[in-house]
Amino acid sequence: MSSFILLFGCLGLGVLLQRVKDFPMNAPLVLNQFIIYISLPALALYFIPEVVLSPAVLLPVGVAWICFAAAALFFWGLGRMFGWSRKLIGCLILTAGLGNTSFIGFPVVEALYGKEGLKTAILIDQPGSFMVLSTLGIALAAVFSKGQASAQAIARKIFFFPPFLTFMLALLLNVLNLHFSEDMKDVFQRLGSTVSPLALVSVGLQLRLERRSRHWGFLALGLAFQLLLAPLLILALYHWGLGVSGEMVQVCVIEAAMAPMITASIVAASYGLKPRLANMMIGFGIPISFITLAFWYWLVQGI
Amino acid occupying residue 265: S
pLDDT band at 151 (very low <50, low <70, confident <90, very high): low
Question: How many of the other CB atoms lie within 10 Å of CB of 149?
Answer: 16
**pLDDT tens string 211-270:** 666 778 999 999 999 999 999 999 999 999 999 999 999 999 999 999 999 878 878 887
> In the predicted model, is pLDDT for residue 295 greater than 70?
yes
**CATH code, domain carrying 270:** 1.20.1530.20
Is 221 within a domain? yes
Look up residue 252 and give its DSSP letter.
H
Mean pLDDT for 73-92 is 94
| Residue range(s) defining the domain that contains residue 37 | 2-18+28-208+215-300
CA–CA distance, 104 with 257 (Å, rounded to integer)? 11
Is 14 within a domain? yes
Is 23 within a domain? no
Is 250 within a domain? yes
The rounded mean pLDDT for the chain is 87
Amino acid occupying residue 231: P
Contact 268, 90 (CB under 8 A): yes
Is 232 within a domain? yes
pLDDT band at 148 (very low <50, low <70, confident <90, very high): low
Among 51-55, 124-128, 199-203, 242-246, the range with the most confident prediction by mean pLDDT is 242-246
Q: Which residue has the higher pLDDT, 250 or 154?
A: 250
CA–CA distance, 218 with 234 (Å, rounded to integer)? 23
Please tell me the predicted confidence (pLDDT) of residue 32: 82
Question: Is 54 buried (19+), middle (13-18) or exposed (0-12) by CB count in 10 A?
Answer: exposed
**pLDDT tens string 121-147:** 988 987 888 778 877 888 888 888 865
54: helix, strand or coil: coil
The structural domain count of the chain equals: 1
CA–CA distance, 135 with 128 (Å, rounded to integer)? 11
CA–CA distance, 260 with 12 (Å, rounded to integer)? 19
Helices and strands of the chain, counted as H and E runs = 17, 0
pTM of the shown model: 0.80
